[in-house]
């Protein structure tokens, strides 16, 4: 019997595990994939989070960036310096997420990765979590399995309205500007394209959030690569 079971080992799950175990709670983190697991993502992290932790994030910061560049239909560029003491952190999600969970493990949290949750049930005064690798019980349950996970549905929350996005990691090329976060508007209707630099490449993506799903998602993905 654990005090809390956390489903999902992303930033939310890792953070919850760290703070709970630091308060002396027994914690089990369940993650369906093996860690570290690859996840394409912009990977921009606000340095303001540092005040909520008592360890150094520098081992997992790929790059620090203090400038944002905005364009409209690939032109009319506007650049802005981020007015903070510490620049924005660029991270790789596989490294960053695993690092957070490891900090919780160092304090006593348990991790069972490659363990997919199949169902949950509240019995008497505790949660029973059934997985591909056994059944576990806890007094409290935290759903941190992301927008595509089943936990919110199982817990009776309203089905969220989802919007799709395309994302990829691209290796660095000669002469590539890695000093700026870039946002391109106007090329995609009711959406935008982003480019977040990393030490060894770029995280590139595109999304449309208003007016329904894109008519041709593959086309939008190609536009993101070209920009």
For the residues of 68-133, what is the DSSP string, one character each?
A: EEEEETTEEEEEEE--SSSPEEE--HHHHHHHHHHHHHHTT-EEE-S--EEEEEEETTEEEEEETT
Question: Average pLDDT for residues 21-31, to the nearest whole number?
Answer: 98
Question: Are residue 67 and residue 13 in the same domain, yes or no?
Answer: no
- Residues 80 and 140 placed together within one structural domain of the fold: no
CA distance 207 to 99: 28
Question: Is residue 37 located within the same domain as residue 96?
Answer: yes
pLDDT digits (tens, 9 = 90+) for 85-121: 899 999 999 999 999 999 999 999 999 999 999 999 9
Residue 48 belongs to a domain: no
Helix (H/G/I), strand (E/B), else coil: 195: strand
Structural domain range at position 146: 2-43+92-154
Q: State the Cα–Cα distance between residues 28 and 196, nearest whole angstrom.
A: 33
Mean pLDDT to the nearest integer, 169-173: 79
How does pLDDT run across 42-91, given as a tens digit for each residue? 899 999 999 999 999 999 999 999 999 999 998 999 999 988 889 999 99
**Token pair belonging to 212:** 């329904």
Domain termination residue (choose one: 111, 133, 154): 154
Residue 53: inside a domain, yes or no? no
Asked whether residue 96 falls in the same domain as residue 39, the answer is: yes
Residues 6+ apart with CB under 8 A from 38: 93, 94
Q: Are residues 119 and 189 in the same domain?
A: no
Q: Is the pTM above the cut of 0.85? A: yes
End of a domain among 154, 171, 199?
A: 154
As a whole number, the mean pLDDT across the chain is 89
Higher-pLDDT residue of 222 and 108 is 108
Residues 85 and 16 both lie in one domain: no
Q: Does residue 56 lie in a domain region? A: no
Number of structural domains the chain divides into? 2
Q: Does 178 score more than 90 pLDDT? A: no
Mean pLDDT of 203-211: 78
């Amino acid at each position: 019997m654990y005090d809390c079971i956390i489903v999902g080992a992303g930033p939310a799950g890792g953070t919850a595990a760290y703070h709970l175990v630091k308060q002396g709670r027994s914690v089990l983190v369940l993650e369906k994939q093996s860690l570290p697991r690859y996840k394409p993502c912009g990977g921009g992290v606000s340095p303001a989070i540092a005040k909520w932790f008592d360890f150094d994030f520098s081992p997992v910061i790929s790059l620090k960036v203090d400038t944002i560049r905005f364009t409209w239909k690939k032109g009319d560029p506007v650049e802005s310096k981020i007015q903070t003491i510490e620049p924005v952190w660029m991270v790789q999600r596989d490294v960053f997420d695993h690092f957070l969970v490891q900090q919780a493990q160092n304090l006593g949290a348990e991790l069972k990765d490659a363990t997919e949750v199949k169902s949950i049930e509240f019995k008497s005064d505790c949660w029973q979590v059934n997985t591909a690798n056994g059944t576990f019980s806890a007094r409290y349950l935290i759903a941190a399995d992301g927008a595509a996970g089943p936990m919110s549905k199982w817990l009776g929350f309203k089905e969220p309205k989802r919007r799709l996005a395309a994302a990829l990691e691209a290796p660095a090329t000669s002469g590539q500007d890695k000093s700026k976060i870039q946002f391109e508007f106007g090329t995609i209707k009711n959406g935008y394209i982003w480019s977040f630099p990393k030490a060894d490449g770029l995280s590139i993506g595109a999304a449309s959030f208003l007016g329904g799903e894109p008519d041709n998602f593959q086309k939008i993905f190609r536009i993101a690569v070209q920009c």
